[in-house]
Amino acid sequence: MNTTEANALLIYVVYKRLQNIDQKKVSLSLDLGVCVWGIYSLCATGSRSSMADDKDVLRDVWFGRIPTCFTLNQDEVTEREAEPYYLLLPRVSYLTLVTDKVKKHFLKVMKAEDVEEMWFEYEGTPLKWHYPIGVLFDLHASNTVLPWSITVHFKNFPDRDLLHCPSNSVIEAHFMSSIKEADALKHKSQVVNDMQKKDHKQLWMGLQNDKFDQFWAMNRKLMEYPTEEGGFRYIPFRIYQAMSDRPFIQKLFRPVSPEGNAHTLGNLLKEMYPAAIPNDGEPKRYQVVIHGIEPLLETPLQWLSEHLSHPDNFLHICVIPTPTD
């Protein structure tokens, strides 16, 4: 068992022991690995933090991990019973990019002729590999008990629900396409077009190898903007809705109003998904979740885009029903 696997198992054990103390707080801390209340207090003031504080937020978001238990679909066991496989999944990465060890583990109990393309599902829902892992968790499992339980399949690939991913080059192409789309919204593609091919490769290798400094040394250029403009041209965002057939909401939205006022998360939701904002006196129907936390609706959208965007440079926002229990 290597260090990563041991840490995943250790976190699971600690979680089970602390479960009776405060399940919600434990789940947040183990899931995110971020200082939740630090972000909340910063969002509440709406003020800019220092450079050191900014980097701390970026680093905490990058190193957010989700304790996960992978089990092989029982109908696909052909040699002998397969032991579950525990892993800490990086929130900002993609399932097919970080699960090589999962594949090798379960192939030990499979016959070669029974192995097709690996895919994952959670409680009957196929998991889209081209969505960031954190988005998948927030959308489908954010109110469940950790570790996240994912079922592994090697047969009956659901072509209608999932894209095929035969190699990491497919993930790289998708990732770079998203970055280029985000930069078109933020800077009319000027930053990406000014980069060299090696710069694009540095972004990809930083994500693939989980190298925060390598990635952000280049990604910081994509987060810059002229001070006089007060933000990006448009905010690259996607709003995902649980229990919806629509993949996501994505439209043009500026970080600053025509009057020069900073738009907030609440402004965005009011225009794009007003049902997510409760009326006065009404019970809260939805949670608005980014990286596993609920930022205040007063949080400036530009700040969120700079600090809580995924490596693809999109701000991924999940709207999920408020738990009833």
Q: Per-residue pLDDT tens for 228-275? A: 888 999 999 999 998 777 889 999 999 999 999 999 999 999 999 999
Q: Cα separation of 232 and 185, whole Å?
A: 8
- Name the nearest CA neighbour of 114 among 84, 166, 165, 73: 73
Q: How does pLDDT run across 166-181, given as a tens digit for each residue?
A: 999 999 999 999 999 9
Which burial class, exposed, middle or buried, applies to 24 when counting CB atoms under 10 A from its CB (0-12, 13-18, 19+)? exposed
Q: Is the distance from CB of 65 to CB of 33 less than 8 angstroms?
A: yes
What is the rounded distance in angstroms from the CA atom of residue 304 to the CA atom of residue 299? 7
What domains does the chain contain, in order, with CATH numbers? 3-23+64-153 (3.10.20.620), 183-321 (3.10.20.90)
Per-residue pLDDT at 76: 81
pLDDT band at 58 (very low <50, low <70, confident <90, very high): very high
Report the SS3 class of residue 39.
Answer: helix
**Percent residues over pLDDT 70 in the chain:** 83
pLDDT band at residue 53 using 50, 70 and 90 as cut-offs: low
* Cα three-residue angle 126-130-134, rounded to 5 degrees: 80
Between residues 81 and 20, which one has the greater pLDDT? 81
Closest CA relative to residue 63, chosen from 38, 89, 43, 94: 89
Count of alpha carbons within 13 angstroms of residue 282, beta-carbon side = 10
* pLDDT given at position 114: 77
In the predicted model, is pLDDT for residue 5 greater than 60?
A: no
User: 218 and 265 in contact (C-beta within 8 Å)?
Assistant: no
Name, in order, each residue with C-beta under 8 angstroms of 229's C-beta and a sequence gap of 6 or more: 256
42 vs 314, more confident? 314
